[in-house]
Copies of this chain bind each other. A is one copy, B any other.
Amino acid sequence: MPTFKDYYTVQLHDTDAAGILFFANQLKIVHNVYESMLTKAGFGFQDRFRKRDFFIPIVHAETDFYHPLKDGDTVEIILEIEKVGTTSFTLSYKLTIFDETVVGSAKTVHVTIDPESGKKIPLPGKFKEKLQELACND
């Protein structure tokens, strides 16, 4: 159940002169859902930047395009927590338009690091628990 779902309407600035969503912006759009999920889970970026307790850089991202998205298209984005590891976690995303056409998908792999040293650190306990709880509910 608690996968995260959100909606996004493609804006003019997301498109390019070919008339469709500029490919890299698909990752920008799914990242919005991840941000929103973090905030709802009580781990919003604003806290990270203030506390500088841990940062969560992305080490891998991939995305597929099945159908072109145009300015004004509203897309439903479903985020699932695919895997929670020791120092990393993996999210997957599915993008669908109104008539149930799956238009794209994406995957992002995140690691936790110490903001000062930049070194990898284990997922902080409460953060890991929260991700696991959300993942289990999928």
Q: Residues on A close to B: CB < 8 A?
A: 9, 11-13, 15-20, 22-25, 27-28, 31-32, 35-36, 39, 44-46, 48-49, 55, 57-66, 68, 70-73, 108, 118
Contacts and interface: CB of A to CB of B under 8 A. Distances in A.
A57 B65 contact: yes
Looking at chain A's contact residues, the main secondary structure is: mixed
B49 A60 contact: no
Contacts of A63: 60-62
A32 B15 contact: no
Nearest to A25: B24
Contact of A15 (B16, B27, B57, B72): B16
B57 A20 contact: yes
B62 A49 contact: no
A6 to B, nearest CB: 11
A15 B65 CA distance: 20
